[in-house]
Amino acid sequence: MDMKVQLSTKDINESVEEALITAGAQNPADGLRLPMSWSFRNYCKGSTWIIEFRPGFQLIIGEVNPFEDLMISLEEESKQFGIAICVSGKMRGTFRGQKDTLAMGQGQNSICFTPRSMKIMEYQGGQTNRSVAVRIEPRLLNTYLEGGSGHISADLRHIVDETSASYYSRIGPATTSMRMTVHQILHCPYHDSIKRMYLESKAMELITHQLAQLAGADSAHKRPAYLHADDIEKIHQAKDILVTNFQHPPTIQQLSHQVGLNDFKLKKGFPQIYGTSIYKYLLDHRFDRARHLLEEGRMNVSEVARAIGYSKLDHFHRSFKKRFGVTPGVYRRDAQSSH
């Protein structure tokens, strides 16, 4: 049975004030790290990390771990775009007066503008729901675009130009570039003011990748085939199977049989959800894992190659250098020297 938590703006402000006291003194350059306050402790654990680079421009890293399925409703007056990447878990958002439901799973992204609305957020219990988000005011985004917003869709352009304040939302797959930027944000190698500069540049990268994705979709007039909710769930299951068995992955035929979805629909639907083919997603995951292991430094290059399913070290070397521009040995050394 779902738990429903009703929060007013006053409740949230009081909760933030209490969390601020709990957090204590922090380095301003690191932003603000808020532990889950007392208002939520009966329902979930987690934290929020907020870095405000300037008024109207924030980076937010959030983690919510609900004990059971959790529903939070709140009144919100937002004059900012929200660009978010779901790193893990699943989350769903609905807004008063809107038919659209924003449902995001791991590896998906969203851009949303929802002024003056009642928002209901739903989180699945028993799993870590982690996201990286950027919030930016339209006026500020317009200054970065230098008024040249003609390449984006008309409805989004009117919001950026502040000639409209209507609801806007889009959900899409997180591209390889987006996932790489998120990884760099979560594993920032710098400290203090340099860290702040680095994270601001990465926040701008996420905005750039998001707008580029929207521009590409609009210019190509892409209209993906309709997927039923159960098909989407099966595609998510297929992704989970791939990730779990990435060293020895099943064939597409085996995968389609395991999730109960024919291979044609699986091959066509997977890119709609994750923005890339099944094969490329698997490859991306392998090398994301390799990069993480090299950054940890507990394994040598040969051990990392075996850990991600490569039996021949020279093949791993060539593939890694082609993807990242350096050999795995150099990458490992540079990662260790920056710690």
Q: What is the pLDDT of residues 85-143, one digit of tens each?
A: 998 888 888 777 676 677 788 888 888 887 766 677 888 888 888 999 999 988 888 88
Domains 3-220 and 229-337 in one fold: no
CA distances from 15 to 38, 96, 331 (A): 7, 24, 42
293: nearest Cα among 305, 308, 309, 304 = 304
Q: Look at residue 221 in the predicted model and tell me its pLDDT.
A: 42
Is CATH 2.60.120.10 what the domain over 3-220 is classified as, yes or no?
Answer: yes
Query: DSSP readout, 165-200?
Result: ---EEEEEEPPHHHHHHHHHHHT----HHHHHHHHH
The structural domains of the chain, with segments of one domain joined by +, span: 3-220, 229-337
10-residue mean pLDDT series, the chain (339 residues): 52 58 55 57 79 89 86 71 88 75 82 74 85 90 70 71 74 84 86 88 92 66 61 89 91 94 90 83 89 90 93 92 87 76
Residues 6+ apart with CB under 8 A from 216: none
Residues 282-294 have pLDDT tens digits of 988 899 889 889 9
- Assign domain 229-337 to its CATH superfamily: Homeodomain-like (1.10.10.60)
Burial 246-273 (b: 16+ CB within 10 A, else e): beebeebeebbeebebeeebbbebbbbb
CA distances from 219 to 87, 225, 290 (A): 28, 17, 35
Q: Look at residue 313 in the predicted model and tell me its pLDDT.
A: 93
Q: Look at residue 302 in the predicted model and tell me its pLDDT.
A: 95
Here the tokens at position 295 are 């950054």
